[in-house]
Amino acid sequence: MSYIVSEDSLDSLDSYRTDSKQTLNWSSVFVLPAWLQVWWQIFGSGAELFIRTVRQGEKIIGIAPLMLKEKTALLIGNTAVCDYLDFIVAPGTEDDFFNTLLDDLKKNDIRSLDLKYVRHDSTVLTSLINIAADRRYKVVNTQEDISLEIDLPPDWEEYLAVLSAKQRHEVRRKLRRLSEAGEVEYRFIEGGAAVPATMNIFIQMFVESRQDKANFMTEQTKSFFRLLADTMAGAGLLKLGILELDTQPVAEIMCFDYNKCIYLYNSGYNPEYASLSAGLLSKVLAIKDSIEKGKSRFDFLKGAEAYKYHLGGREVPLYRCQITIK
């Protein structure tokens, strides 16, 4: 079969995603064109875009959303704000796509691929590393972090039954204590004029809730979060969860709703309400809302925080894959 490799721009990717003739697998929120564009706008300085699209006639069999640093190609993104990444490939075409891509990389004198982080079920680990090994390329695959997620049952009581007896008791007890403290409302902002003001409160709570989060939230990162919220709201993927007690916001979460999965991207709470477990309950109520809306998965994302295990999360290993092209 004959394949054509072309260089592409970030602006062109969205049209490929919405083209009903294409069968590409946009596997997570972190590979969507909107996400890639925001990341590149805020953090792309110092790298060169190297987006390669592989076609068979009019059909796109895969996209490599890469950037270059010297002779090394990396997936667009970074581990600080992109939990896991991957290539965008039409199912069933992985062998042809990656063989064609590796030929193209070698032709362009790209010496290595440094891919992080990727999940165990990514095309990188299910296809690319085997193809690279068959070519006798050096492949180094190292687990460097974990993500946690839970498959959601159809109803709330069934979810609670998944938890240990202790954690089930704790969830119920904490919800009861919160309701006894005042009038509780949990709602979502998904778009419109309320997004910027809601993000201001979110960033304030994020910074106040933990010192490491305060250190993380640089001015550049604030710009990324704000632009990401606006952009993902425009794409219909944003969910800002607000937990209020007597009309006072006490905790907020930033989520994305994509492909029947809720991605819990980040969170913050008012430390004055720590005794009421406001931060934890903002996530518990997001899980409850996700179940009620028929979502199939709740992704806690990268990091081994204890609450993720307490709320039923199971570990998903995240890897760094380095391939030397020769």
Reported as a single tens digit per residue, the pLDDT across 290-318 is 999 999 999 999 999 999 999 999 999 99
Reported as a single tens digit per residue, the pLDDT across 114-128 is 999 999 999 999 999
Mean per-residue pLDDT for 197-225? 97
Domains of the chain: 4-146+317-324 (3.40.630.30), 153-295 (3.40.630.30)
Reported as a single tens digit per residue, the pLDDT across 233-258 is 999 999 999 999 999 999 999 999 99
Q: Taking 80 as the threshold, does the pLDDT of residue 1 lie above it?
A: no
Q: Taking 90 as the threshold, does the pLDDT of residue 326 lie above it?
A: no
Three-class DSSP category at 110: coil
What Rg do the C-alpha atoms of the chain give, in angstroms? Answer: 21
Helices (H), 44-162: 94-107, 123, 129-134, 156-162
User: pTM (2 decimals)?
Assistant: 0.97
Distance from C-alpha of 290 to C-alpha of 288, rounded to nearest angstrom = 5
